[in-house]
Structure 1
């Protein structure tokens, strides 16, 4: 009987989350060949796109503290078999859960997310089914009310992978098991078809609405003007140096609004909006560019792992940790730099592209080897 594997924390609107889904599917295809895939319905996981992947639709219900998912799993077998005719399964039909939430558990996120995940982990542990936390940013867990659920996340899973040094250190404070490991973002392994390139040098600019979202930073909205000035100054710099500027919408309407504002302000024939690509097309596009400036984490990953020099602006520790892995810590910059400071930084970056590409590729090979080791551990658990 084929294993039924549920993948959680992924979606189609956020292209980083979609990229993680594609990366997981590619590895499951390699290591397992045949299996059943399950995805839960969601606003950013519409039925049509789930159906194209041949995914079972999971029957679940969560509203605040009310979580009926475990109860629905206790439906009689006859009813569950009937639901399968319509492509619907319950938690009882799932053999393995792979959680690829990216960055969803810690002090800055709603407690309900971690609480519901902890309950799910306990249910799977009681049934002897593996629940695996794939590499992601975790913590901090300073809020007392979070620690109980964080301990479950770290100790009651089959495997938990923290993505970086800071995340691992936060998890280690609560670790009482031998199931906690560290491994970098796993999308580096995802192979994509090469994108058509032009003779003219190009740079890809990838803004992120979260950088100036009050949800993530109390004073973020006051920084909006500085953030727009950063992108306008960066776009003009590369245009002045003979580059074609591709402003990429990496996620939804809010990012698109920022992209359009940049294009309107720069108003040059050497700049264009890139929109409507899926995650693998985005990675291929990034791989075709000569340089990238990104506020999106997976925009940075997709550049670095393909040897494309990339500057980043940061809104969480995961950026600094990523660039430490790739030996380019100085490439995480402050978008609030004065114009001359920004110009100096961009000039240094531009003059160092060849060396940076070599550094990226060297570290990318190391990251990919760690990715392979992580998947060996995951597959061993799935097959056990």
Structure 2
């Protein structure tokens, strides 16, 4: 298989991937990064993982998703067509289906793996690579999400298939039982990677005396390697037209997770003031600046109505603007994939986002960015790119201070761009080496 080309960001590019293909074809399964969720951050993890693995090896990829049965797909990654097998396998209340993870785990524990179709699929693989949607190996999002995310890991371990935890966030674990379950998983995994130093310290705590520097690593978020791709003309032309009309285009990602349900920001995530109020005032202040156009970037846009829909949040933001201001704001449409969203983000002179992978789409291209964080994950990932100071945390700051810090990020964007230019070459080199190490470990 032809290796997938490395991304070509606007301001900085990763080092070339020079690893020779492995002499034999690896059969690898991916969990935690399906392409059918409507979450561009999760899709970015999936596409970037495939790109990275194929850059370092020959591999046949099986991606486990929420679809029906087994299917074949040709994915476009860095202008290349990559064949991937898609297999529906997920948690649900339909326990009678063979695509149900709980049913598969029970079969594995009863030594019936060779009789169960989903278990047979996994047993035929050389390894399971699991990335947990980047940040969901935690109980931050509730017990149901924690169960959904841990089931594939438990299944791989029950079947005796090599489990590799790709660079991700570990924790927080608010319940002792969840922390104990996470500890059992990481101790059973063949490799564990954290995507920042803070998360690596949590991983080491889970491992305790089982820590092994040959197996347990700190790395970088794989989505830094996502290629940007210009969409078709009918989607790209309105963005390019808008960008040409304004001397300074700033991008804004509004998180539906926080904007669409007032009070959730404080109750679940510990914000000290209203996220909705912050976004509305930030937009008002940006539009008060001459020559500024604002590009609204929804990074979670599911096809069915969901409370955390960024697209719905953008619609609400637009409805709240006076008619005279709306001509200075352009909202990206639904239907853009992760690489196309990254292309649009690359048109911006400054970006502000709450969804962390929207901000990675910016900083990986050298676009100066301010992140509004709702968990510890953002600070750690920004630190890997040398711009930790560009993270604003509403859990520790009051509303006016949050807004001031965000606007400071806008005015100091040139300094942030210089910091990114200095840091990105080394980061991309780490990304390259990370995949080589992962692949070498699978073959060991």
For residues 258 and 190 of structure 1, the distance between their equivalents in structure 2, rounded to whole angstroms, comes to 25
Match of 1:191 in 2: 227
Question: Is the deviation greater in 204-213 or in 106-115?
Answer: 106-115
Classify 1:323/1:100 alpha carbon distance in 2 versus 1 (closer, same or farther; 3 Å). Answer: same
Match of 1:230 among 278, 286, 309: 278
Q: Structure 1 residue aligned with 2:194, among 162, 166, 190?
A: 162
Q: 1:180 pairs with 187, 195, 216, which one?
A: 216
Whether the 8 Å CA contact 2:219–2:431 is kept in 1: the answer is yes
Q: Does 1:29 align with 2:89?
A: no
Q: Give, in whole Å, the separation in 2 of the partners of 1:119 and 1:266.
A: 48
Matched with 1:10 is 33
TM-score, normalised via structure 1 length: 0.84
Q: When you count helix as a share of all residues, which structure comes out higher?
A: 1
Which of 322, 325, 332 does residue 381 from structure 2 map onto?
A: 322
Equivalent position of 1:132 in the other structure: 164
- Which residue of 128, 147, 166 corresponds with 2:179? 147
Counterpart position of 1:353 = 413
Runs of 4+ in structure 1 deviating by more than 6 angstroms, as ranges, are 46-50, 221-225
For residues 270 and 181 of structure 2, the distance between their equivalents in structure 1, rounded to whole angstroms, comes to: 34
Pairing 1:274–2:321 present = no
Give, in whole Å, the separation in 2 of the partners of 1:232 and 1:217.
15
Question: After the TM superposition, which of the residue ranges 344-353 and 237-246 deviates more from structure 2?
Answer: 344-353
Q: Is the 8 A contact 2:169 2:194 kept in 1?
A: yes
Cα separation, partners in 2 of 1:165 and 1:215, compared to 1, 3 Å: farther
* Alpha-carbon shift at residue 344 of structure 1 (Å): 4.2
Aligned with 1:90: secondary structure?
helix
Aligned pair in 2 of structure 1 residues 105, 350: CA closer, same or farther (>3 Å)? closer
CA separation in 2, counterparts of 1:59 and 1:89? 14
Asked if 2 retains the 8 angstrom alpha-carbon contact of 1:5 and 1:97, the reply is yes
TM-superposed CA distance for 1:326, in Å, is: 3.0
Match of 1:308 in 2: 367
What is the CA RMSD across the aligned residues, in angstroms?
3.3
What do residues 252-298 of structure 1 show as CA deviations (whole Å, max 9, x unaligned)? 25211111111111242010110221000111111221011100111
Q: Is the 8 A contact 1:155 1:180 kept in 2?
A: no
> Which of 140, 158, 165 is equivalent to 1:123?
158
Q: Deviations over 1:69-105 (max 9, x none)?
A: 25277345xx96xx9xxxx962222222111211112
Q: TM-score, normalised by structure 2?
A: 0.73
* Larger RCO (alpha carbons 8 Å, 6+ apart): 2
Q: Which moved more, 1:295-304 or 1:98-107?
A: 98-107
Q: Given the alignment, which residue of 253, 278, 287 partners 1:239? A: 287
**8 Å contact kept, 1:121–1:153:** no
Counterpart for residue 112 of structure 1: 147
3-state SS, counterpart of residue 367 of structure 2: coil
> Which ranges in structure 2 are unaligned for 5 or more consecutive residues?
1-23, 76-82, 96-100
How many residues get paired?
369
Q: Is the 8 A contact 2:219 2:430 kept in 1?
A: yes
